[in-house]
């Protein structure tokens, strides 16, 4: 890249990200990594002005970081050509699939010259992603950095069995007792993110909420405040927080058990970063046991159970007909 120059309305490298937050984070990282390189960069995400983005495109950019939707918006407006792309990076491809972006990604691939280097990153490889790779990559080399079933070793994992009505009180008790410094609380649904935000804020806790239906300017403000430590607790959906690299998160709470076991790995991976230790606590109702079983099967070990004072456990291990070998029994930390 350092050997050439970008032409107007053209990019030489294109990095596709599934969410605005991830795209913004990659652009921040590029500013650090490329500090001593004479490479230009533009960030194309929704929720911000087209005109500011167009001004950068008019000059041409060496590296273009974008979400698929905003990229195609600029292309359809005649403000961007993709024929000059030499390197294409498709990041978080499995999340692209979950969010319904694969048709857009396929269209973008067809707009780019076949003479390019393509790199595809994916935590999992479902058949739809394999089909995408087969269609737009020529005899690709497959590199597996780490098995998706390997949780971070220095994350202390625990599970609490309870009823849905006990979740808020239990969460507040643990936050207080554990002296939580910074935490991300994951909910499966956006409406639950909003409801939990209101509930915790009403008790005087300093919290923020993050999900995909919020305005981009607000989401960026939430992330900036959380990274700076101004707000110690962030309640988030999977899509909004996927892949975020925030070094000092001490705790991750799964307010809901993720329905996909791989998402459990992604969630708890938000703590214990940069050599730190961390804690991951999952709340599970009896109705969510099948999701717990899937997680245990994936990670290859039981998740030790903890009880909260004043909260009656609804764990299946209290059911005489349920085998303790298959339900979240406590185990000693090795």
pLDDT in tens, 188-203: 999 999 999 999 999 9
What percentage of the chain has pLDDT greater than the value 70? 88
Q: Given this model, what pLDDT does residue 108 score?
A: 97
Instruction: Determine the CATH number of domain 11-136.
Output: 3.40.50.300
Q: What is the pLDDT confidence band of residue 184, given thresholds at 50, 70 and 90?
A: very high
Residues making up the chain, counted from first to last: 334
Q: Given this model, what pLDDT does residue 311 score?
A: 61
Instruction: Determine the CATH number of domain 155-318.
Output: 3.40.50.300
Lowest mean pLDDT of 151-155, 196-200, 223-227, 247-251, name the range. 151-155
How far apart (Å, rounded) are the C-alpha atoms in residues 334 and 42?
A: 47
According to CATH, where is 3.40.50.300 located in the chain?
A: 11-136, 155-318
pLDDT in tens, 35-90: 888 899 999 999 889 999 999 999 889 999 999 999 999 999 999 999 999 999 99
Q: What is the pLDDT confidence band of residue 320, given thresholds at 50, 70 and 90?
A: very low
């Amino acid at each position: 890249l350092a050997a050439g120059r970008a032409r107007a309305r053209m990019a030489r490298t294109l990095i596709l990200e599934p969410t605005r937050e991830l795209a913004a984070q990659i652009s921040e990282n590029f500013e650090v990594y490329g500090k001593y390189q004479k490479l230009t960069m533009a960030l194309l995400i929704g929720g911000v002005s087209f005109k500011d983005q167009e001004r950068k495109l008019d000059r041409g950019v060496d590296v273009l970081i974008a979400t698929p939707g905003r990229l195609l918006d600029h292309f359809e407006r005649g403000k961007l050509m993709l024929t000059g792309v030499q390197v294409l990076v498709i990041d978080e491809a499995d999340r692209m699939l979950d969010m319904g972006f694969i048709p857009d990604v396929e269209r973008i691939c067809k707009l780019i010259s076949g003479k390019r280097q393509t790199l595809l990153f994916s935590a999992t490889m479902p058949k739809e992603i394999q089909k995408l790779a087969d269609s737009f990559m020529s005899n690709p080399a497959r590199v597996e950095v780490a098995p998706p079933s390997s949780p971070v070793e220095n994350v202390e994992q625990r599970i609490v069995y309870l009823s849905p009505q006990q979740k808020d009180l239990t969460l507040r008790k643990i936050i207080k007792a554990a002296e939580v410094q910074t935490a991300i609380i994951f909910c499966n649904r956006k409406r639950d993110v909003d409801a939990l935000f209101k509930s915790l804020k009403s008790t005087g806790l300093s919290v923020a909420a993050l999900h995909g239906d919020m305005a981009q300017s607000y989401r960026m403000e939430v992330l900036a405040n959380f990274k700076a430590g101004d707000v110690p607790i962030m309640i988030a959906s999977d899509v909004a927080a996927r892949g975020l690299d925030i070094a000092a998160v001490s705790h991750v709470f799964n307010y809901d058990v993720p329905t996909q076991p791989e998402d459990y790995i992604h969630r708890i991976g938000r703590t214990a970063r940069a050599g730190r230790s961390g804690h991951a606590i999952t709340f599970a109702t009896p109705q969510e046991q099948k999701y717990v079983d899937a997680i245990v099967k994936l990670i290859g070990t039981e998740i030790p159970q903890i009880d909260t004072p004043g909260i009656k456990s609804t764990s299946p291990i209290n059911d005489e007909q349920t085998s303790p070998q298959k339900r979240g029994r406590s185990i000693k930390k090795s």
